[in-house]
């Protein structure tokens, strides 16, 4: 029996949301739907979508709401997402919140919880700089990192106000060991009645 959990994880670049999102999704037996992963997979495969996304991101811009929304809707319509999912990277602005609300409402669904990973700005920058050095990522320059964090603060942070108004946001301290942070998330979800499924 798979736990029904429709979750969103939100946090600035470098907050560890990709890692935590994958851990939480695995614990609940639901797919982690990361727009970044979908985009990168398409770029690697050289698909038409990948070429389109590559050109957009190379210029330091974000993929359009319309294109991103189409990809997410297609993914959430797949059978393995019927009992739940964890979204990472979408919605990232108020228009995408409205689009997601509309899609879920059509299927009689809604988000159960929003996990906000809270990490100080200087910690995010330090983590991203370390990642760039370790992985040789030329796109993680100080200038690009600052631009991405500014976009997050200006566009993505306001979506949390919407979800707070619905009473579904759990703010989690994103500083600590991976296990500590995972347990904080699990405890917050359990307090909402979204418990980790019992081992089969």
166 classed as catalytic: no
For residue 182, give the nearest of 28, 38, 30, 31 by alpha carbon: 28
Residues recorded for the chain = 200
131 classed as catalytic: yes
17 classed as catalytic: yes
Q: Which of 121, 137, 164, 192 is catalytic?
A: 137
23 classed as catalytic: no
CA–CA gap between residue 40 and residue 170 (Å, rounded): 29
Q: Which of 6, 23, 75, 92 is catalytic?
A: 92
Q: Which of 6, 127, 148, 184 is catalytic?
A: 148
Contact present, 15 and 117 (Cβ < 8 Å): yes
At 139, give phi and psi (nearest 5°). -80, -10
- Residue labelled with tokens 């919880």: 113
Q: Is 2 left (phi over 0), alpha (psi -120 to 50) or beta?
A: beta
Q: Which of 109, 131, 171, 196 is catalytic?
A: 131
Q: Which of 6, 17, 23, 75 is catalytic?
A: 17
CA–CA gap between residue 4 and residue 49 (Å, rounded): 31
ω into 76 cis (within 30 of 0): no
Q: Which residues are catalytic?
A: 17, 92, 131, 137, 148
């Amino acid at each position: 029996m798979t736990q029904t959990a429709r979750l969103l994880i939100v946090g600035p670049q470098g907050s560890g949301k990709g890692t935590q999102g994958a851990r939480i999704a695995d614990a609940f037996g639901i797919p982690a739907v990361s727009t970044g992963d979908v985009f990168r997979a398409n770029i690697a495969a050289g698909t038409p979508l990948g070429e389109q996304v590559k050109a957009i991101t190379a210029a330091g811009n974000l993929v359009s709401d319309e294109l991103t929304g189409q990809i997410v809707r297609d993914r959430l319509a797949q059978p393995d997402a019927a009992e739940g999912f964890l979204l990472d990277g979408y919605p990232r602005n108020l228009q995408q919140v409205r689009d997601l609300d509309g899609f879920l409402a059509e299927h009689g669904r809604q988000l159960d919880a929003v996990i906000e990973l809270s990490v100080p700005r200087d910690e995010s920058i330090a983590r991203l700089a370390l990642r760039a050095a370790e992985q040789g990522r030329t796109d993680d320059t100080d200038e690009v990192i600052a631009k991405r964090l500014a976009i997050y603060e200006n566009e993505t942070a306001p979506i949390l106000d919407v979800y707070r108004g619905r009473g579904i946001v759990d703010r989690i301290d994103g500083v600590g060991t991976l296990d500590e942070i995972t347990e904080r998330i699990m405890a917050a979800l359990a307090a909402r009645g979204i418990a980790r499924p019992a081992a089969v």
